[in-house]
Amino acid sequence: MTSSQAVSRELINPDLRPVAPLARTWGSGAYLALWVGMAINAATWTLASSLIAMGMNWFQAVFTIVLANLIILVPMLLNSHAGAKHGISFPVFVRSSFGIRGSNVPALLRALVGCGWAGIQTWLTALALDLALGVLFGSWWKEAPILSLGFIGEQRVTVWFCFVFCAVAQVWAIVRGFGAVKRLQQLSAPLISISLIILLAYLLFRSKGDLGPVVEQPSEVGWGRDFWLGVFPPGLMANIAFWATLSLNMPDFTRFAKDQKSQRRGQIIGLPLSMFAFSLIAVLVTSTAAAVFQVDPTSLWSPDALVATLGNPVVVVIGALIIVLANFSTNVAANMAGPALDMTNAFPKWINFRVGVCLVMLIGTCMFPWRLLSNPESYVFVWLGFYGGVTGAIGGVMVVDYWLLKNANLDVPALFTPGSKYWYRQGFNIKALLAFVIGAFFAVAGAYSPEVDGAKTGPFPVDGFIPIFKTLYDYNWVVSFGVGFAVYLLLNVTKLAKRGQEVTVPFRIEAEETREVSDRVPA
């Protein structure tokens, strides 16, 4: 760093420092592999099943998933630009809009959501590992004693063991750096994709081309009002929310991009295509498996349950281990790296990346993921719906600030400098925080839990916290993003005329520092 860059040591550490140009080596293939690796996992497998359980047919479910991913791709690309241009991660980028201190609010909220996802994916990974070990070790593993942990829940001792093992293994993998994440995705993406195609071909051969009951099942809601105004809005919002946090913190990955074209092309191809292909394969595999093995398809929507029906012990073990690899690769990239950086941003003197990763897994475990996955309504309305409504406004503020007010230009050294233009008022941009609060309020004030067979399925009131806002909750992410966008734009309308005055000031890195960054982030 040059002496003119009066950055504060309290605001920077090796994990937050901008990536040196020589260390920006990720091409389009890396981002394509990243998205294939992140999209193919047990949680994604359950998206279509959740929508079908709400009354959609398979085509409506896949259509909803693809549309949602095309929508979320827009803010994702807009925010990714800052990472590729300036070499900065999300928690540093968000300092420009929320203030150097105020950035901790969206960063820690995003971290909390990431912790929840880390717990969910680890639980699903543990179930698949338990299945594989049960086949290998037989009855003594499958019939292990039940260990009750009170209000936390109860499971076989072996299941708890698998959960702890998977948690520790993922922490070990991610602390090795983003280069290790990249290599894991490049290894897992083709292996998992080929395995799924082979599985589908095998089931189609066994069923003699019969696509099974799921494909033949008609929609319970049709294409009229019950679909467009009933199950479609919450289903669409839930699928937008599925990657909503990645739309914020994708700069954590695009800061390693060779150029804008590389990250943009890799993501435009990778995200929608991967989600479409995997959702369609999930439907077809589940449906054909139900036809081959003559079982209720609703019992096969969990990947580990489907693999368990395949019969052949060798096939079951291989299938379960592929699920483990798929969930593992998704979790370390999508759910653990970003939140750890967010915590580092909030407490750079006390929390480095490794400590942050450990905290992510600890908090994710304390959110009891086995309860969040207890039924489709909880998954869609409670988990995906609520956090989508909260985080959408953050994205709205970021897009307005970076593109409309700053014209994609940032004074990067100032992001690490107290008293700079990004200090705003005592480190907080009150306008950004106000727009965020208003956007989130309109989106989740009407949060409700639907009734199924007369029983409430979640923690929210049936009529919503504030009944007048209940309808808005069905459109939670769009409401949150739109209101946050509009309010922040109105609060800063006088600054639009000055947008051309912003200029980019790069963060200069000396040769020794460049080598250090390159070593920490291996290509």
Tokens describing residue 101: 């201190």
Instruction: Say if 24 falls within a structural domain.
Output: no
Cβ-based neighbours of 330, under 8 Å, separated by 6 or more: 37, 38, 39, 40, 41, 43, 44, 121
Residues 274 and 39 sit within 8 Å (Cβ to Cβ): yes
Tokens describing residue 245: 């946090």
Partnered with residue 311 across adjacent β-strands are: none
Average pLDDT for residues 238-264, to the nearest whole number?
93
Instruction: Say if 21 falls within a structural domain.
Output: no
Instruction: Compute the 3-state secondary structure of the chain and give helix, strand, coil in percent, each to the nearest 5.
Output: 70, 5, 25
Backbone angles phi, psi at 223, to 5 degrees: -115, 20
Instruction: Say if 191 falls within a structural domain.
Output: yes
Count: domains in the chain: 1
- Residue 220: strand, helix, or coil: coil
The span from the CA of 382 to the CA of 473, in Å, is 11
Share of the chain above pLDDT 70, in %: 93
CATH of the domain at 176: 1.10.4160.10
DSSP state at residue 12: -
Tokens describing residue 49: 């099943």
Residues 101 and 428 sit within 8 Å (Cβ to Cβ): yes
Instruction: Say if 166 falls within a structural domain.
Output: yes
Instruction: Say if 3 falls within a structural domain.
Output: no
Please report which confidence band the pLDDT of residue 456 belongs to, taking 50, 70 and 90 as the band edges: confident
DSSP-assigned states of every residue in 36-104: HHHHSSHHHHHHHHHHHHTT--HHHHHHHHHHHHHHHHHHHHHHHHHHHHH---HHHHTHHHH-TTTTH
Q: State residue 188's pLDDT score.
A: 76
Residues 523 and 11 sit within 8 Å (Cβ to Cβ): no
Instruction: Say if 1 falls within a structural domain.
Output: no
Cα→Cα distances 410→39, 79, 146, 501, Å? 32, 13, 56, 11
Q: State residue 379's pLDDT score.
A: 60
Please report which confidence band the pLDDT of residue 1 belongs to, taking 50, 70 and 90 as the band edges: very low
Tens digits of per-residue pLDDT, 104-137? Answer: 999 999 899 889 889 988 998 999 999 999 999 9
Look at 295 and 93; give whichever has higher pLDDT. 93
Tokens describing residue 510: 């000396």
Amino acid letter for position 87: G
Cα→Cα distances 323→9, 40, 100, 287, Å? 42, 9, 40, 18
Residues 114 and 303 sit within 8 Å (Cβ to Cβ): no
Q: For the chain, first and last CA: distance in Å?
A: 23
The pTM of this model reads 0.86
Cβ-based neighbours of 497, under 8 Å, separated by 6 or more: none
Average per-residue pLDDT in the chain? 87
**Which domain covers residue 194, as residue numbers?**
9-16+29-520
CA 423 vs. chain centroid, Å, equals 29
Residues 299 and 166 sit within 8 Å (Cβ to Cβ): no
Cβ-based neighbours of 477, under 8 Å, separated by 6 or more: 237, 240, 241, 244, 388, 389, 391, 392, 443
Q: State residue 472's pLDDT score.
A: 94
DSSP-assigned states of every residue in 113-158: HHHHHHHHHHHHHHHHHHHHHHHHHTHHHHTPPEEE-GGG-EEEHH
Cβ-based neighbours of 350, under 8 Å, separated by 6 or more: none
Q: State residue 269's pLDDT score.
A: 96
Per-residue pLDDT at 291 exceeds 90 = no
> To which H or E segment does residue 484 belong?
helix 476-491
Tens digits of per-residue pLDDT, 192-235? Answer: 888 888 888 988 998 888 888 888 889 999 999 999 999 999 89
Instruction: Say if 23 falls within a structural domain.
Output: no
> 420's torsion region: left (phi>0), alpha (psi -120 to 50) or beta?
beta
- Single out the residue of 202, 521, 190, 523 nearest to residue 325, CA to CA: 190
Cβ-based neighbours of 509, under 8 Å, separated by 6 or more: 1, 17, 18, 20, 517
Please report which confidence band the pLDDT of residue 512 belongs to, taking 50, 70 and 90 as the band edges: very low
Cβ count within 10 A of residue 126 = 26
> To which H or E segment does residue 170 belong?
helix 157-174
Average pLDDT for residues 100-107, to the nearest whole number?
95
Residues 112 and 360 sit within 8 Å (Cβ to Cβ): no
The span from the CA of 280 to the CA of 66, in Å, is 10
Q: State residue 210's pLDDT score.
A: 87
Cβ-based neighbours of 228, under 8 Å, separated by 6 or more: none
Instruction: Say if 38 falls within a structural domain.
Output: yes
Cβ count within 10 A of residue 136 = 12
The span from the CA of 313 to the CA of 321, in Å, is 12
